[in-house]
Structure 1
Amino acid sequence: MLLLDLLAEQRIEQARDAGAFDNLPGAGQPLPEEDLSLVPEEERVAFRILKNAGYIPPELEMHKRAVDLALQLATESAPEARAGLLGRLARINILLAEAGKPQLCVPADYQARLAERLSKGN
């Protein structure tokens, strides 16, 4: 592993010397501060590591899928396709509620409100 680390460091230095990192967005700017006030202090390091690795909790992944389904429902006109999407959305909402995360459920009228907003062009 040491050889691989050394090779990586050399490539980074070569890229830096060649100016590959000049003019990157946000260059010279401080990193944005993260609000971790809702994360218990003893879990903040682990939370940051998981976040930087691209991991999101399963509940948020389910919420993301529910929102995607609601977006599909807003534009779907075929009744049989809508029924399938509504069934999948209901199952995800049940799983979120059972996981103790009812605040992540997509409300039943969400797709109607979304369709109304999309039809207005907002």
Structure 2
Amino acid sequence: MLFFERLARERIERAMEEGAFDDLPYAGERLPFEPGEPVVPKSLRESGYTPPVVILNRKLEALRAQLAGERDRTKRRTILAEIAETDMRRRMEIERAVQDAKRG
């Protein structure tokens, strides 16, 4: 672990022990996003921006639901190919976001 990460973690843990986070507004309530979903700044959210990963996740859910109801083998193959392509694009988007985050 990097020095600054360790230092930040130690300071956060010390602050928690001292009760610095006990009286925060909305403590104990659900977060306004799902775990694993990208957190988007409020200004982007209000402008209607949806991260590509979220769009691709929604598309995957729709394709999987479509696949579950499809009985025709040819159509199932087409849907499976689209699922594979969409999942690959989603993974590439996640990797790009991780690389961007590492750069700064």
TM-score (norm 1): 0.44
Q: Which runs of 5+ in 2 are unaligned?
A: 1-29, 96-104
Residues paired across the two proteins, number? 63
Query: What is the distance in 2 between the residues matched to 1:71 and 1:94?
Result: 18
2:86 to 78, 85, 92: 92
Residue 63 (1) aligns with residue 88 (2): no
Query: What is the distance in 2 between the residues matched to 1:54 and 1:73?
Result: 29
Equivalent residue number for residue 78 of structure 1: 72
Q: Which runs of 5+ in 1 are unaligned?
A: 1-32, 39-43, 102-122
Q: Give 3-state SS (helix, strand or coil) of 1:66's partner.
A: helix
Q: Which has the larger radius of gyration?
A: 1
Instruction: Report the Cα offset of residue 47 of structure 1.
Output: 1.1
AA at the equivalent of 2:75: A
AA at the equivalent of 2:59: R
Relative to 1, partners in 2 of residues 1:94 and 1:63: Cα closer, same or farther, differing over 3 Å? same
Q: Deviations over 1:68-118 (max 9, x none)?
A: 0001001011111110000000001111222236xxxxxxxxxxxxxxxxx
The sequence identity of aligned pairs, in percent, is 21
